[in-house]
Structure 1
């Protein structure tokens, strides 16, 4: 339950507007939840490792989707040719099907890759007993940090700098206090 609340607060900007691709909040939840459950990470401090890496995965996936959308721009002349009845055109249904299949393929591969990497990382941390000691981190503190997702909805470079600086300061405070 706490993981769901964190991701809900963090990804307040999930509406796609124009060329903006929001972070994949569902991907981050689907990465963090089963891993936290499998490794028994119920305390907030212990769950920070999968939370952090699943957030990175969400941003990487949105960047990849933006690249995929840009790559599909080459289909525009072929679609226009089909609309005017010219040669060399492709019907919209074929273009949409191809785009959907490519998107599903890279998303599945991306999820599998990140899941395996995170699983191996968490298994190594568990086997070696090298978990970060962050006993001062509580779920309410993580909720407060996740509320910075509202800042992200502003979609400005300064908002992202504020988010990064705030999370960095929170991490430093917890690190020094632990």
Structure 2
């Protein structure tokens, strides 16, 4: 069936055993980065004009990712950990947290914002070029009355946060 006159060009088939959590263009050569969650979490790349899948050397307990603007760093997010995957060198660094992470966002190579369904604040950390060994805790943004479940960076200077308290907060990063 075709809606609006559109039809799919390729069928990539079943890529994972579990649900797909995110798909994003990875480079200019029609390469995609795909992550999954469920019983066998993985991250893979595929050139959809060749249908050749490559699994990234990232542990299986990471279920979501964020790419930086240059798309040479993958911020891999798991339930209680964040990993940094450097695409060119294929190195992977990880940091563990005491609480469950609900969402993460970052401003290009400097700040990472972490939220948890267990906390009504947003934790901001400065990561020196995103290497976990260089983490400096910056501050907590307090304004919600229940767990923060989603974060979104807009134009590298605004943070939107959504909470279980049914509110959305709008923060200006440069004035934090």
**TM-score normalised by the chain length of structure 1:** 0.23
Task: Name the larger-Rg structure.
Answer: 1
Question: With structure 2 as the length reference, what TM-score do the two structures score?
Answer: 0.23
- Relative contact order, CA 8 A, sep 6+: which one is greater? 1
Structure number having the greater strand percentage: 2
Instruction: Specify which structure has the higher proportion of helix.
Output: 1
